Amino acid sequence: MTNEIIIAGFGGQGIVSSGIILAHAGMIEDKYVSFFPSYGAEMRGGTANCSVVISSDPVASPIVANPNIMIVMNEPSLARFEPTVQPNGLFFFNQTLIKSKPTRKDITIIPVEANAIAEELGQGRVANMVMLGILAKKTGLLKLETLKKAQRKRFTKANKEQLELNDKALERGYALL
Amino acid sequence: MKKIFGRPAGLTEIIQRYCPGCGHGIVHRLIAELLVELDIRERTVGIAPVGCSVFADEYFNCDMIQPPHGRGPAVATGIKRSRPDCVLFSYQGDGDLAAIGTAETVHAAARNEKITVIFINNAIYGMTGGQLAPTTLPGMRSTTSVKGRDVVKQGYPIKVCELLSGVDGAYYLERCAVNTPKNIIKTKKALKTAFKNQMDDKGFSLVEILSMCPTGWGVTPVQSKQWIDDVMSKYYPLGVYRDRAKEEK
Amino acid sequence: MAEKRLMYGNHAVVEGVIYAGCRFFAGYPITPQNEIPEYMSIRMNEEGGVFLQTESEIAAINMLFGAAAAGKRAMTSSSSPGISLMQEGISYIAGADMPVLVVNVVRGGPGLGNIAPAQSDYYQATRGGGHGDYFTITLAPHSGQELFEFPRLGFELAEKYRNPALILADGLLGQMMEPVEFTYEPIDPTSLPEKEWALSGCKGRERRVVRSYDLRPGKLEDLNRRRFEKYENIKKNEQRFRASRCDDADLVVVAYGTCARVSDAAVRMARDRGLKVGLLRPISLWPFPWDVLGDMSKRVEHFLVVEMSCGQMIDDVKLATECRSKVQFHGRPGGGVPTPPEIYEKILGVLGGTR
């Protein structure tokens, strides 16, 4: 089974970190993984996206064109990425910041109040962790505990409070379903 | 019978193939003498250029390397950074140093690379047959400026010591000549300073040497020596252009 | 088990170079390999090595020439336009029989092209690249793991044969993150033997000269013939490849680097549907694995060459198979990366035509 994931949003929403944490968690669970950042012209305009592959087979290409799992964190990314999702794919979107509604009927739409929950926890920045938490629960792809380990590998310079807040955000996301 | 003059141990016994009246042989001898006098021959790596002195790798009695045209300072950098105990000299002509290798020269100076660069300026391309050099004087004839260098079409010469004077990294810059015994003695002194600076781990030292090319200039050896005094050293004034050792005092 | 890290390919190269005992890097920034000099500057500083950001790729390769002549392991990295600038130096280094390691993280060309992954420098890498009769040993990694391992292999081959070695990666391999296992202990540079040809000052020995020229009549001819005897040895001993599912194959896909990864997935799709398809992945591009392809061509009817170019390696496949098999091509030039379904469709097209 190969899961092809795209995470998209504004620069500063932790898009790249989310991707690396997902890939790292996959590696911890002995899966074949890859992470690929967006580059070139796509960097302009402050939008960021990255591809993550988590698979039971060696990863062919780390560049994902048609994800079966999509995380959309901001308005512009919704319009851009909704059409690319594979039929029957999962579409997580940050309902707090996105006013439009996804229109596809052949994919599973999962609205998440990612930023609202993050603000409740005291820090809007951890909205990405809320998303990773719900992704883990919905897909069963990764254990919650593994994500907690993986975020520590990513944020090696963060203080204990921040790491614990990240854990909480992961847990809140995980508990949404 | 007592031998009072002979080949310095810094030169091999290979016969040099320079033209009569050429300045390369004089400069080779000065360097070779210094390799012995400073007791550095056995830790020196010399760099031969592309040009008339391409065969310098046969003439100097020390380890030698022959790099691409103009890249001497880059190759010297590679060796010096790998073996800081070695003494590096890069022997270069005007085409090598001031045309194709300008970037390598300027940036080695900017990095204050601890090497000694010996720049033979004879205002002409000797090896390839007397074409225009980056140092050919305005109005001077060459095989690619048969009516004389036209500065409107062919631009102006590059004054290397003056150019490098604008580079903070350069530690020592001096322009000399080898057309008279007095100038030869001065040149040796400048070369000695340039080597000593490296031995003392000071920095980038370049000695520009105005040198005769009677064949390329189409004059006799005697006329060529006179021309340096009368014309060439007027355009390229001799003297010290940078001496940070003195400035620091 | 060896330590496993999630790493960018470009960072894996750097660790591979450090683990290979190399302490000399000179280079000039160019996308998509900037992570190499950036990370290298940190690592060389930590290891007490030399890191030089140069004025040009020309200066960088000549600094390598100097460092190699001084007997040290030395490497540079660049991407296609920068590698073009280095060709002068590589020719001199090959002509002086010096070992250096050059990494090319290939991008789209010709000219400034783009910064997307490509394989369009194959000819340049495998045909010498600069002027004169020479070849460079060329290795093509297809993963972060091999980006870590090939610097050491590259140095070993370069030193064994006294010849420049090249690692031909691409922007995709350099920019992706993958798990990398640190499969061996780092080499202590001081444990590497002194070279009997290195320039170090002639104390207690005859002076040494490193040069690529010989103007004496007939001498350069002799020298070049001797160098080609060396190349024959390399061709005999160093053809590297990975063949998978080829034993019963009606069609063998030939692809290296990124294309080999993608093709592997396409081959699995084909096998799942009962098609007898295999993959041959050249690991050494020079020497090309001519022998195994020659053997295969005696029983395999179809070869499908997949490249991120308009077709360069296909020439070597045709040379190796000597018209015994049908050789087809699928290519994505200018920064395009093929997908498994795309290659699978091509496989169906080729095999369908024979039924």
pLDDT in tens, C292-306: 999 999 999 999 999
* Res A39: pLDDT: 52
Does residue B2 lie within any of the structural domains? no
Sheet of strand C4-8, all strands in order from the earlier edge strand to the far edge: A108-112, A90-94, A69-72, A2-10, A47-55, A32-37, C177-181, C4-8
Q: Is B112 on the interface with C (CB under 8 A)?
A: no
Q: DSSP letters along A85-116, please? A: SPTT-EEEEETTT--S----SSSEEEEE-HHH
* pLDDT: which is higher, A42 or B244: B244
Distance (Å, rounded) from C-alpha C106 to C-alpha C118? 6
Average pLDDT of span C61-73: 98
Q: CB-based contacts of C295: which residues, under 8 Å, 6+ apart? A: none
Q: Which of C190, C205, C207, C220 to mutate to test binding with chain B, by most B CBs within 10 Å of its CB? A: C207
Residue A174's pLDDT band (cuts 50, 70, 90)? very high
- Pick from C115, C175, C177: which is nearest to A23 by CB? C177
Q: Say whether both C256 and C334 belong to one domain.
A: yes
Does residue C63 lie within any of the structural domains? yes
- Percent of chain C exceeding pLDDT 70 equals 99
* Res C352: pLDDT: 86
* Res A121: pLDDT: 97
- Pick from C63, C202, C213: which is nearest to B63 by CB? C202
CATH of the domain at B181: 3.40.50.970
* Res C355: pLDDT: 46
* Res A40: pLDDT: 44
ipTM over cut 0.90: yes
Does residue C263 lie within any of the structural domains? yes
Does residue C283 lie within any of the structural domains? yes
Does residue B185 lie within any of the structural domains? yes
Q: Which chain C residues are Cβ-neighbours of A49 within 8 angstroms? A: none
* Res A47: pLDDT: 77
Does residue B163 lie within any of the structural domains? yes
Give chain C's contact residues with A (Cβ, < 8 Å): 4, 6, 32, 114-116, 172, 175-179, 258, 261-262, 264-266, 268, 337, 339-340
Is C262 in contact with A60 (Cβ distance < 8 A)? yes
Count of structural domains within chain C: 2
Domain residues for C152? Answer: 4-190+228-233
Boundary of a domain, candidates C233, C266, C285: C233
Does residue C125 lie within any of the structural domains? yes
SS3 C20: coil
Does residue B13 lie within any of the structural domains? no
Does residue B94 lie within any of the structural domains? yes
Question: Residue B118 in contact with residue B90, Cβ under 8 Å?
Answer: yes
Q: Which residue has the tokens 């003498």?
A: B33
pLDDT tens per residue across span C310-337? 999 999 999 999 999 999 999 999 999 9
**Token digits of residue C323:** 């018209």
CA C137 distance to own-chain centroid? 7
Does residue C287 lie within any of the structural domains? yes
* pLDDT: which is higher, C292 or A11: C292
Question: Helix H segments across chain C?
Answer: 9-19, 35-47, 57-69, 80-95, 122-126, 144-161, 171-175, 219-237, 257-272, 290-296, 313-321, 340-352
Q: Is A24 on the interface with C (CB under 8 A)?
A: yes
Whether A and B touch, i.e. at least 3 CB pairs below 8 A, reads as no
Residues of chain B with pLDDT under 70: none
Residue C193's pLDDT band (cuts 50, 70, 90)? very high
Touching chains, A (3+ CB pairs < 8 A): C
CA of B182: how far to CAs of A66, B41, B188, B223, in Å? 81, 26, 10, 17
Q: Is B53 on the interface with C (CB under 8 A)?
A: no
Q: Say whether both C253 and C173 belong to one domain.
A: no
Domain residues for B89? Answer: 24-248
Boundary of a domain, candidates C204, C233, C262: C233
Question: Residue A90 in contact with residue A39, Cβ under 8 Å?
Answer: no
Q: CB-based contacts of B76: which residues, under 8 Å, 6+ apart? A: B45, B47, B88, B89, B90, B108, B113, B115, B117, C66
Question: Residue C154 in contact with residue C167, Cβ under 8 Å?
Answer: yes
CA atoms within 13 A on the CB side of B177: 26
CA of C248: how far to CAs of B241, C275, C282, C294, C324, in Å? 76, 10, 19, 16, 17
* Res A61: pLDDT: 87
Q: Say whether both C66 and C186 belong to one domain.
A: yes
Count of structural domains within chain B: 1
Q: Say whether both C151 and C247 belong to one domain.
A: no
Q: Which chain C residues are Cβ-neighbours of B74 within 8 angstroms? A: 54, 58-60, 62-63, 65-66
Kindly list the structural domains of chain A, giving each domain's residue range(s) and its CATH number in brackets, ordered by start: 2-174 (3.40.920.10)
CATH of the domain at C343: 3.40.50.920
Does residue B8 lie within any of the structural domains? no
* Res A45: pLDDT: 55
- Pick from A24, A36, A63: which is nearest to C6 by CB? A24
Q: Which chain B residues are Cβ-neighbours of C219 within 8 angstroms? A: none
Question: Residue C241 in contact with residue C289, Cβ under 8 Å?
Answer: yes
Q: Say whether both C124 and C272 belong to one domain.
A: no
Does residue B41 lie within any of the structural domains? yes
Does residue C211 lie within any of the structural domains? no
* Res A18: pLDDT: 97
Q: Say whether both C31 and C121 belong to one domain.
A: yes
Residue length, chain A?
177
Q: Is A27 on the interface with C (CB under 8 A)?
A: yes
* Res A11: pLDDT: 83
- Name the pairing type of β-strands A90-94 and A32-37: unpaired
Distance (Å, rounded) from C-alpha A115 to C-alpha C183? 42
Q: Which chain C residues are Cβ-neighbours of A37 within 8 angstroms? A: 175
Distance (Å, rounded) from C-alpha C351 to C-alpha C264? 17
Distance from CA of B62 to the nearest CA of C (A): 5
Does residue B97 lie within any of the structural domains? yes
Q: What is the mean pLDDT of chain A?
A: 94
